[in-house]
Structure 1
Amino acid sequence: MEISKLYTLFKDKSFGEILFDEPMKNHTSFKIGGPADIMVIPNTEREVIESIKFCRDNHIKYFIMGNGTNLLVKDTGIRGVVIKIANGFDNIEIDGNKVICQSGTLISVIAKEALRQSLAGFEFASGIPGTIGGAITMNAGAYGGEMKDIVTKVRVLDKNNNVVELTNGEMNFRYRGSTVIDQELVVLGVELELEEGEYSQIEEKMKDLTHRRVSKQPLDLPSGGSTFKRPTGFYAGKLIDDAGLRGIRYGDAQISEKHCGFMVNRGEATFDEVFTLIKTVQKIVYDKFNIMLEPEIKIIGDD
């Protein structure tokens, strides 16, 4: 669809905040990415649903994102509409040991609220960047815990614009995957079940995991988190290190010297620099160990 027609269609719509020709580098933790033709930032469930339905009804290409913590966007940007479900769509309610939250809620915010309520079981996730919607979609995990361990219900929009509630068993949680991906669903809300605990113990565990994360990961530089998925029986970071690639750099894209599982932006890295380095690492690791590393970051954009 022509950009001028797209702009006209969205100019007076009440889907929340609407941005035109919006640089994606302002919305990704990698700080990389050209402009999206249109970005919609909904604040209510109605706005989320209506904006998606409008795109579907008008055959407009759209992409759903959260806080952009695992995205690598092409420098040419994204044609069509990006619907950002993040800040603004982030209400939290506590009901006993249940935490009910909208999908745009930051994981760090949920962790703080769980601590405040002395609810245990979410500590493993406290340092994971991004939103709970993205975490559910990918079954995010860390330090021995995964989202599948604490999710009881997930409220989603299906491909027929129906709002459906799925149980944990219906979510088909697995390593970095779920029914959300399989059926192209959109996460609207989540119910988590935690356990009553001791405030001091929960706080201490969160501090310990935070220290471990900060001491081992390059959190001081822009990145997309873990660059590659964990191959069965191996660790991507160790394979990259063993291949002699620690600190290897192409332009401003670099394999972190602190943690080889992370690729970082040293300043003004472009998509092409990061993508070239990804391909280089894949080839060298495959040639040495006969293991093909699969990207964990999501690569999107249009030429």
Structure 2
Amino acid sequence: MNDINQKLMAILSEEHILRNEPLAKHTTFKIGGPAAYLVTPTNKEQVKQVIEICKECDVPFYVIGKGSNLLVGDQGYRGVIIQIYKNFNRIEINGNQITAEAGVMLARLAKEAAEYGLSGLEGESGIPGTLGGAVTMNAGAYGYEIKDHIISATVLRQDGEFQVLDKSELQLGYRNSIIQKEGFVAIEATFQLSPGKKEEILETMKELNQRRADKQPLEYPSAGSTFKRPEGYFAGKLIMDAGLAGYRVGDIMVSDKHCGFVVNVGNGTAAQVRQLIEDVQRIVYEKNQVRLEPEVRFLGDF
């Protein structure tokens, strides 16, 4: 690791390199052991350089944004976490188009669009993640999805080249994309929005966010919806019908407000989350013969 430390210091200033950094501080679950390194590049060239260094040194790496869809193991991650978030958040508006870097929070992007009277991102405003993650998994809520208005996205390919992919090339499906399938890194994205009245757009956002607050356990740390929606079913209803509302493993609980959420009600651990997820999968399958697939990503040593 000394070799990679020197190489990272050659391209990043000291404040952008954190060593043995607890990932519980960087995930919405508030769970996760330390990463050997957590780096915060400020532009796409630095992202590319960090990945090249990791490959040269044969050190694993993983790109995160706000850590809103991630469960990190209690033993942490023995590699480099590349956090594209606070320092990678430029927004540019040109007519009815808006382009943003991958580290922009969705709430900020939607509000910025609204300030310019641009409609189309209202449903993304309450999702607690960054644009990069949202494009990678085609995030959505309340009938809105990233694919509805995206024109293109710039990605960093596995071969180290940047490429602009149009909407069809992104292959955006339910919680999936070519970015996810090929292990690309989302760098920025451009959306075509519709002109509207700022006040009406903001009111729609307010209403959707109130619906979210009324129905979801936002008072507890979580990783959002824990399971993907099985075809023909709703994960939360299957879990509720299986009698699992309030089911607990230690300080990890199936929310009794919305059974699609697994929440950290105290000092929960990654091991407890994984155990609870496995229990829910088993019980739901026994009762309904439906296999629930986690939407949450698992990373590191458990």
Common fold, TM-score beyond 0.5?
yes
Q: CA deviation at 1:47?
A: 1.3
Distance in 2 (CA, whole Å) between partners of 1:209 and 1:271 is 31
Distance in 2 (CA, whole Å) between partners of 1:6 and 1:117 is 44
Greater Cα offset, 213-222 or 10-19: 10-19
Contact residue 253 and residue 273 of structure 1 kept, 8 A: yes
Contact residue 71 and residue 299 of structure 2 kept, 8 A: yes
Tell me, yes or no, if structure 1 residue 289 matches structure 2 residue 288.
yes
Tell me, yes or no, if structure 1 residue 158 matches structure 2 residue 153.
no
Tell me, yes or no, if structure 1 residue 101 matches structure 2 residue 103.
no
Runs of 4 or more above 6 Å deviation: none
* TM-score (norm. length: structure 1): 0.97
Counterpart of 2:41 in structure 1 is 42
**3-state SS of the aligned residue for 1:272?**
helix
Q: CA deviation at 1:58?
A: 2.6
Q: CA deviation at 1:11?
A: 4.2
Deviations 1:104-143 (A, max 9, x none): 1000100110110010111111111110000000000111
Tell me, yes or no, if structure 1 residue 90 matches structure 2 residue 78.
no
Tell me, yes or no, if structure 1 residue 246 matches structure 2 residue 245.
yes
Counterpart of 1:7 in structure 2 is 5
Structure-to-structure mapping, 1:127-146, within 5 angstroms: 127-146=126-145
Structure-to-structure mapping, 1:162-201, within 5 angstroms: 162-201=161-200
Across the aligned residues of Structure 1 and Structure 2, the Cα RMSD in angstroms comes to: 1.2
What one-letter code is carried by the residue in structure 2 that aligns with 1:14? L
Contact residue 247 and residue 254 of structure 1 kept, 8 A: yes
* TM-score (norm. length: structure 2): 0.97
| Sequence identity (%) | 45
**3-state SS of the aligned residue for 2:100?**
strand
Query: How many residues matched?
Result: 301
Contact residue 74 and residue 271 of structure 1 kept, 8 A: yes
Q: CA deviation at 1:288?
A: 0.2
Contact residue 7 and residue 20 of structure 1 kept, 8 A: no
Counterpart of 1:274 in structure 2 is 273
Q: CA deviation at 1:5?
A: 4.4
Distance in 2 (CA, whole Å) between partners of 1:243 and 1:76 is 32
Contact residue 3 and residue 57 of structure 2 kept, 8 A: no
Deviations 1:229-258 (A, max 9, x none): 000000000000000000111100000111
Tell me, yes or no, if structure 1 residue 29 matches structure 2 residue 35.
no
Contact residue 8 and residue 50 of structure 2 kept, 8 A: no
What one-letter code is carried by the residue in structure 1 that aligns with 2:251? D
Alignment CA distance shift 1:141-1:222 (3 Å): same
